[in-house]
């Protein structure tokens, strides 16, 4: 593209919405003499069928290489015009919609002269962009209709169950011998108050009744992962055998580990100081001794080293406190906390019920933590009550330390295998706000406590959601890379490297938020190479490339330069 006088322009009056402010005749005059503009028409409403047909028929002109439409914003009808034209066989790459309504006539309604000048500028910029748009690269992906689920905890099992119900073959891998994850360690699950067997049985039945729809590999170890969205190759060992499978999507549901207190509050050298999970073990074995129990919250968390709230510990402690009261209604149960975190109506009720049953809450301050006293056995806990501002000594038979969930020790290795980022606490990083299960690697989803500590209920929901995301990806049939990304509501321009000019400096590799750029040796020299499936067209690479050898063909430096020129030229 970029031939002289090859752009056809159409201006939309929008039934006066545009032409009432902007003098379209003047705009037309100015544009007609603009280099690159082959013809210009003013229509009433480009978004209506009749005008659309005119547009489509005009473009059959073999010499016209692009269309520039002066109309409304992309978010109004601009995008729809493009889509409609695409249905008529006109590639969206050749259509530029310039917003002269929202971006001009409506916001400059009091300044018709200035608005007209601006409209001319904007259209000239559109012409410049269209003239310097090159055909973008494209690659097609045929997704493998199988999904890999890493981890058979509540999130992983739910994901697998949901997928298998949709007829997708699932590979479920877990390092433990039996499925269930952390739930296996717990007697009853809060706030639903069911056992773990009950909790997951239905889903497990779905999975194991699927006639091979799910391949379950217990006690397995991940070895490597290659490929990208739609086609990953993953190898792992299970028992003595090694497997290599191809899948279209990956769900990481590895959960989290329970932090051990590491000597805090004399855990380990004083009989009767337990962690929450050790208490669960006693519940399961039915060996609870003593009826004076003190829970200490926020152990090893919400401090400088782990500045986060693990989100589930309060509910767990409340559950356990009530369980103590179930065993011995006369028991004296204290919960020493810094704040009780029970958001939502269900959990709030849970908190109030515990209070109603006589669990006593006492707030301590972070810089004055409770002290556990005793010689061999726990004797009492000394604590500064932040509400009454006095020291209290509470007699205790058991002290339960409520420790948080923390990232698994091998989270780093898994992150590396799949190319995921981890947040500052070590959990897998997901995209923000609107895409909570997606990672920077297209086709890899994270759910459950692997992404952030959650209760079983949330883990299940997230697992199901992740399954839907994976299903959506692999069930779309053949996909264009430029439409693959989660974010690609519109078509994106994928980065392209001019290998002759590339110096191999690696700036693009360092900045690419998707790890789409990598350096490869070509004829003895390192050259940047773009993985088109990973690329999302953000352009980070373009702006750090020292000599412009990487470009977004649809939005090149040349195009931006010409747009700037178009702005400057007017009136001079």
Partner 1 sequence: MSLREEVLTRVKALLKDRRVDGVLGLSLFEKEPVPCLFEDPFDVDALVIEPKWLLAKLAMNILKTAPQEYRLGLVCRGCDDRAVTELAKRNQLDRNRLTLLGIPCTAEQARKCLCSTPYPREIVAGERVEGMYPMNDEQAQLFLTGSMEERMKRWARELNRCIKCYGCRNVCPICVCIPCKLEDDLWVKRGHIPADMVSYHLIRAFHLSDTCVSCAGCTDTCPVNIPLMLLQVSMRETLKSQYAYEPGLDPERVSPVLTEQEKGEGTLFQEPAWIDSLRGGS
Partner 2 sequence: MTDRTEDSGNIQVVLEGAGRKIVVFACTWCALIGADGAGKKRISLPATFRVIPVECISRVEADAVIRAFTSGIDGVAVMGCHLGGCRHNGANLRSARKLELLKPLLDTVGIDSRRLFTSYGTAHEYHQFAQAIESFCSQIGEMPPVSAWSRSFVRAMSARGENE
Contacts with partner 2 by CB under 8 A lie at 73-76, 99, 101-104, 106-111, 114-115, 117-118, 121-122, 125, 421, 429, 431-433, 440, 487, 492-493, 511, 513-514, 536-540, 542-544, 552, 555, 557, 560-561, 563-565, 567-568, 572
Do β-strands 371-373 and 380-385 pair in parallel, antiparallel, or remain unpaired? antiparallel
Task: State in angstroms the smallest separation of the CB of 298 from partner 1.
Answer: 17
Residue 302 or 319 with smaller CB distance to partner 1: 302
Q: Which does 501 bind (CB under 5 to 8 A by kind): partner 1, partner 2, none?
A: partner 1
Q: Which of 226, 548, 568, 569 binds partner 1 (CB under 8 A)?
A: 548
Whether residue 550 contacts residue 497, with contact meaning beta carbons closer than 8 Å, is answered with yes
Whether residue 461 contacts residue 469, with contact meaning beta carbons closer than 8 Å, is answered with no
For residues 275 and 260, give the distance between their C-alpha atoms in angstroms, rounded to a whole number. Answer: 7
Q: Which does 504 bind (CB under 5 to 8 A by kind): partner 2, partner 1, none?
A: partner 1
Closest listed residue to residue 294, CA positions, set 218, 374, 221: 374
DSSP state of 40: E
Per the document, the length of the chain is 572
For residues 550 and 449, give the distance between their C-alpha atoms in angstroms, rounded to a whole number. Answer: 39
Q: Is 311 an interacting residue with respect to partner 1 (CB under 8 A)?
A: no
| Beta strand spans in 156-255 (E) | 169-173, 188-189, 194-195, 214-217, 220-228, 231-238, 241-247, 249-252
Q: Would you give the binding string for partner 1 spanning residues 373-412, x where CB under 8 A is met?
A: ----------------------------------------
Q: Which does 572 bind (CB under 5 to 8 A by kind): partner 1, partner 2, none?
A: partner 2
Q: Which of 263, 344, 546, 571 binds partner 1 (CB under 8 A)?
A: 546
Whether residue 143 contacts residue 230, with contact meaning beta carbons closer than 8 Å, is answered with yes
| Both tokens assigned to 391 | 């020291």
Residue 245 or 557 with smaller CB distance to partner 1: 557
Stated as kind and residue range, the H or E segment containing 355 is helix 344-356
Which positions from 479 through 508 interact with partner 1, judged by CB under 8 A? 501, 503-507
Q: Is 167 an interacting residue with respect to partner 1 (CB under 8 A)?
A: no
Q: Which of 42, 176, 558, 567 binds partner 1 (CB under 8 A)?
A: 558
Q: Which does 519 bind (CB under 5 to 8 A by kind): partner 1, partner 2, none?
A: partner 1
Closest listed residue to residue 9, CA positions, set 27, 473, 303: 27
Whether residue 217 contacts residue 243, with contact meaning beta carbons closer than 8 Å, is answered with yes
Residue 3 or 111 with smaller CB distance to partner 2: 111
Q: Which does 503 bind (CB under 5 to 8 A by kind): partner 1, partner 2, none?
A: partner 1
For residues 65 and 2, give the distance between their C-alpha atoms in angstroms, rounded to a whole number. Answer: 8
Residue 328 or 429 with smaller CB distance to partner 1: 429
For residues 572 and 570, give the distance between their C-alpha atoms in angstroms, rounded to a whole number. Answer: 5
Which stretches of the chain bind partner 1, using CB under 8 A?
A: 307, 421, 424, 501, 503-507, 510-511, 519, 526, 544, 546-548, 557-558, 561
């Amino acid at each position: 593209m970029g031939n002289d006088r090859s752009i056809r322009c159409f201006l939309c009056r929008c039934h006066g919405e545009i032409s009432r402010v902007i003098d379209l005749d003047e705009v037309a005059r100015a544009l007609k003499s603009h280099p690159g503009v082959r013809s210009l028409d003013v229509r009433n409403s480009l978004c209506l069928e009749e005008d659309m047909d005119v547009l489509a028929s005009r473009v059959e002109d073999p010499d016209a290489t692009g269309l520039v439409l002066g109309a409304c914003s992309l978010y109004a009808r601009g995008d729809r015009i493009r889509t409609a034209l695409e249905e008529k066989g006109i590639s969206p790459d050749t259509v530029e919609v310039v917003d002269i309504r929202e971006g001009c006539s409506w916001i400059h309604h009091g300044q018709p002269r200035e608005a007209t000048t601006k409209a001319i500028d904007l259209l000239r910029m559109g012409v410049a962009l269209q003239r310097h748009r090159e055909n973008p690269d494209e690659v097609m992906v045929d997704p493998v209709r199988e999904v890999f689920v890493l981890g058979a905890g509540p999130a992983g099992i739910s994901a697998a169950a949901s997928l298998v119900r949709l007829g997708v073959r699932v590979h479920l891998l877990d390092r433990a011998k039996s499925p269930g994850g952390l739930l296996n360690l717990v007697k009853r699950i809060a706030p639903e108050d069911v056992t773990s067997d009950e909790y997951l049985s239905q889903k497990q039945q779905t999975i194991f009744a699927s006639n091979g729809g799910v391949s379950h590999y217990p006690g397995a170890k991940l070895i490597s992962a290659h490929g990208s969205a739609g086609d990953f190759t993953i190898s792992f060992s299970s028992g003595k055998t090694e497997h290599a499978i191809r899948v279209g999507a990956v769900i990481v549901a590895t959960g989290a580990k329970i932090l051990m207190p590491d000597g805090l509050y004399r855990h380990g050298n004083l009989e009767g100081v337990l962690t929450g999970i050790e208490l669960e073990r006693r519940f399961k074995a039915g060996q609870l001794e003593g009826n004076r129990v003190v829970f200490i919250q926020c152990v090893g968390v919400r401090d400088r080293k782990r500045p986060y709230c693990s989100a589930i510990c309060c509910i767990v402690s409340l559950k356990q406190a009530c369980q103590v009261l179930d065993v011995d209604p006369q028991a004296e149960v204290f919960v020493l906390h810094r704040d009780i975190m029970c958001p939502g109506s269900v959990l709030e009720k849970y908190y109030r019920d515990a209070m109603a049953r006589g669990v006593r809450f006492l707030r301590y301050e972070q810089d004055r933590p409770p002290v556990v006293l005793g010689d061999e056995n726990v004797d009492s806990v000394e604590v500064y009550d932040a509400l009454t501002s006095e020291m209290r000594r509470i007699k205790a038979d058991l002290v339960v330390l409520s420790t948080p969930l923390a990232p698994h020790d091998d989270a780093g290795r898994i992150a590396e295998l799949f190319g995921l980022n981890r947040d500052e606490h070590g959990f897998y990083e997901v995209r923000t706000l609107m895409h909570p299960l997606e990672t920077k690697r297209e086709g890899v989803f994270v759910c459950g406590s692997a992404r952030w500590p959650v209760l079983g209920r949330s883990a299940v929901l997230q697992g199901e959601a992740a399954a839907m995301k994976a299903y959506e990806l692999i069930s779309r049939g053949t996909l264009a890379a430029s439409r693959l990304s989660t974010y690609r509501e519109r078509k994106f321009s994928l980065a392209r490297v001019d290998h002759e000019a590339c110096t191999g400096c690696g700036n693009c590799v360092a900045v690419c938020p998707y790890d789409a750029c990598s350096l490869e040796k070509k004829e003895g020299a390192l050259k940047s190479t773009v993985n088109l499936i990973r690329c999302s067209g953000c352009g980070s690479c373009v702006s750090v490339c020292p000599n412009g050898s990487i470009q977004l063909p649809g939005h090149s430096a040349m195009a931006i330069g010409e747009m700037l020129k178009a702005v400057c030229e007017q009136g001079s």
